[in-house]
């Protein structure tokens, strides 16, 4: 679809929801796949940019319809409107992103509660019947770049002082055996930009954006919270082990975290709009991880 301004979105939405005529409309986000519109800070409407994004939005709504009743955590109750144009709607989950600085400002009790809530979210998600998720449209998660692509495209972009450490991570990733728990249906996107965190109450109100969910190795589920803090990941892993009885391999999670950062850098190495951000992300990870190694 072509880029639209707020007034055009208002017209499209109120043609289906005339009671919103007097509401306040604002563009919430311009994501890779869809444009999101916030209405009165209570509703979110998503308009896919193309047919591929439309299929992804339709699949996400179907997946949420299966997982939502099984979760203690709030997730969007997404409804599809066939149009034209095609779009989705759901009630907004109150809260803001959770970034590193926010997490570091939390006290011990709030950190523990956050980790417990996320561990329960993962534990409940991972036991949903795989057949139901397949029927709803879940497939394999998006593969990462190959080790050779990472060596060729990502490593040369890194500062020399951390390149050797990154090379070792790639080698460690290459020899990892298959995940001992195999593949599960998971979220695989649990970073703070997909969280609705109440900074006043210091608690997580909900999680959104299931577009990247699917079937993948269980340990990979636990790498994304490292974008917030390794401390949070360690707490989630311990709480998850207590809930499920599964023993997780922390070294495997560390290797996967590093290779994921490098894979993202390799994927966007030729994208001038995003490559610098990916270099900073990979360099920040490597600096911290090398000190802890």
List the domain boundaries for the chain. Answer: 6-91, 100-292
Question: Is 3's pLDDT higher than 60?
Answer: no
The answer to whether residues 257 and 226 touch, using CB atoms and an 8 Å cutoff, is yes
* Confidence label for 273 from pLDDT (cuts 50, 70 and 90): confident
Structure-block tokens of residue 235:
């707490």
Question: Quick one: pLDDT at residue 289?
Answer: 84
CATH of 100-292, one of 1.10.3720.10, 3.40.50.850, 2.130.10.10, 3.90.1200.10: 3.90.1200.10
- φ/ψ of 10, rounded to 5, equals -55, -45
DSSP assignment of 120-144 equals: HHHHHHHTS-HHHHHHHT--BPPPP
- What's the rounded Cα separation, in Å, for the pair 239 and 242? 5
CA atoms 90, 240, 166, 286: torsion sign: positive
Of 285, 292, 261, nearest to 162 by C-alpha is 285
* Confidence label for 30 from pLDDT (cuts 50, 70 and 90): low
Question: Is 292's pLDDT higher than 80?
Answer: no
Question: Is 251's pLDDT higher than 50?
Answer: yes
Question: Quick one: pLDDT at residue 2?
Answer: 40
- What's the rounded Cα separation, in Å, for the pair 65 and 61? 6
The answer to whether residues 196 and 93 touch, using CB atoms and an 8 Å cutoff, is yes
CATH of 6-91, one of 3.30.300.30, 3.40.50.300, 3.30.200.20, 3.20.20.70: 3.30.200.20
Q: Among 187-191, 212-216, 275-279, whose mean pLDDT is lowest?
A: 275-279
Question: Is 286's pLDDT higher than 60?
Answer: yes
Question: Is 115's pLDDT higher than 50?
Answer: yes
Based on DSSP, count helices (H) and strands (E) in the chain, helices before strands.
10, 9
Paired residues of 203 in beta bridges = 198
Question: Is 144's pLDDT higher than 90?
Answer: yes
- What's the rounded Cα separation, in Å, for the pair 45 and 56? 15
Q: What percent of the chain has pLDDT over 70?
A: 96
For the chain, the average pLDDT equals 93
Question: Quick one: pLDDT at residue 1?
Answer: 40
Question: Quick one: pLDDT at residue 100?
Answer: 95
- What's the rounded Cα separation, in Å, for the pair 201 and 110? 9
């Amino acid at each position: 679809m072509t880029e639209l301004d707020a007034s055009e979105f208002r017209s499209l939405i109120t043609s289906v929801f005339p009671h919103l005529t007097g509401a306040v409309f604002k563009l919430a986000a311009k994501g890779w796949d869809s444009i999101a519109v916030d209405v009165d800070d209570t509703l979110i409407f998503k308009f896919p940019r193309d047919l591929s994004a439309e299929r992804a939005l339709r699949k996400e709504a179907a997946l949420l319809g299966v997982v939502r009743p099984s979760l203690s955590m709030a997730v969007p109750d997404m409804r599809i409107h066939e149009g034209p144009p095609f779009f989705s709607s759901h009630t907004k989950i109150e809260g803001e992103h959770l970034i590193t600085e926010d997490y570091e400002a939390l006290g011990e009790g709030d950190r523990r509660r956050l980790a417990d809530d996320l561990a329960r979210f993962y534990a409940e998600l991972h036991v949903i019947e795989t057949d139901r998720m397949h029927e709803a449209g879940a497939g394999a998660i998006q593969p990462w770049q190959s080790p050779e692509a990472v060596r060729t495209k990502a490593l040369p972009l890194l500062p020399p002082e951390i390149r050797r450490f990154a090379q070792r991570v790639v080698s460690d990733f290459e020899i990892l055996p298959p995940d001992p728990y195999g593949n599960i249906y998971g979220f695989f996107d649990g970073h703070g930009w997909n969280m609705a965190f109440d900074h006043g109450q210091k608690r997580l109100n909900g999680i959104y954006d299931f577009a990247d969910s699917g079937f993948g190795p269980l340990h990979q589920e636990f790498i994304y919270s490292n974008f917030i803090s390794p401390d949070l990941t360690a707490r989630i892993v311990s709480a998850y082990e207590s809930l499920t009885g599964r023993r997780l391999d922390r070294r495997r999670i560390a290797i996967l975290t590093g290779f994921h950062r490098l894979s993202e850098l390799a994927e966007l190495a030729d994208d001038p709009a995003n490559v610098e951000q990916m270099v900073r992300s990979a360099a920040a990870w490597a600096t911290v991880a090398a000190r802890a190694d």
